[in-house]
Amino acid sequence: MPDADAAPLECSGVTKRFGRFTALEAVDLVVEPGEIFALLGPNGAGKTTLIGCVTGTSLPTSGAIRVFGHDVVREFRQARRLVGLVPQEVSFDPFFTPLQSILNQMGLMGVRPDRARAERLLEIFSLLDKKDAYTRNLSGGMKRRLLVAKALAHAPRLLFLDEPSAGVDVELRQELWSEVTKLRERGTTVILTTHYLEEAEQLADRVGVIDHGRIALVERTDRLMSRFSQNRVRFQLAAPLHAMPPGLPEGSVRVSPRELVVPWSEPGELARAIEQVQALVGVDNCEVRHTSLEEIFVKLVSEARA
């Protein structure tokens, strides 16, 4: 049985080397119960390698990894049964049906095959009407949904989603996001890797940034957005402005005689800037911009490399 007080995932000094290449270096990471944790990083940063070390497809060179208190090397059976994995690659036996795929997954994970549960999973992911079709005949989006259903076959307490919405359309991506949120509400801890930064911004309670095999930062998403926020308002002026007027917030920039960019952090500051510029030269148009997680991510990775 899992330790009720143990973290869903705890990595201590995890290093993974492939010959002379170090894919992970001294990774320390603790994931809290019931959270959605977004692990972000550029291609080759070490995200999939770390997932492989946790899920048993790869062994760490050094360090320790525990899943709900179980060491993933010494207690691999107990640890593995608590983990579900949705991999990047879409891979199925083309001669199995979706129903057979889920029943087989249950058996592989040491769970008695349960047809009723398998059909409930297919219904959740809108695949029940395809339960007896060959998987090779499913669309790309259906295959991606089936991967998630398979990963949930043994009711894991920790779920890895490695680029779950890669290559799917916007509608399906929204459906997947909705199901991930429901999983968290039911107590499943979710670790998500994604290149869609808005996905992490909307879903994740905390964000971890990894680059060159090292964890550069772990922080709550809302605090991260607040700490690095650089909101701006861009004014198209009604008349030319030949010099910067006094009193505008620090960091204001005159881009051209008829274009002015002013930073702001609170709504009151924004309102004052608009009133001041309107009174000074008049405003034809203004565009308010909020800093996105994507902009913050690029900044963090650049700083980590520097």
177-186, 213-222, 291-300: which has the minimum mean pLDDT? 291-300
Asked if residue 213 lies in contact with residue 22, where contact means CB atoms within 8 angstroms, the answer is yes
pLDDT beyond 70 at 304: no
pLDDT digits 0-9 by tens, 13-42: 999 999 999 999 999 999 999 999 999 988
How far apart are the C-alpha atoms of 233 and 260, rounded to whole Å?
Answer: 8
Where b means 16+ CB within 10 Å and e means fewer, 100-130 reads bbbbbbbeebeeeeeeebbbebbeebebeeb
Task: Work out the pLDDT band at 145, boundaries 50, 70, 90.
Answer: confident
**Cα distances (Å, whole numbers) of residue 259 to 159, 233, 235, 243, 305:** 48, 11, 6, 12, 34
Percent helix, strand, coil in the chain, to 5, is 35, 25, 35
pLDDT at 252: 86
pLDDT digits 0-9 by tens, 278-290: 888 899 998 888 7
pLDDT digits 0-9 by tens, 65-111: 999 999 999 999 999 999 999 988 887 788 899 999 999 999 999 99
Average pLDDT over all residues of the chain: 88
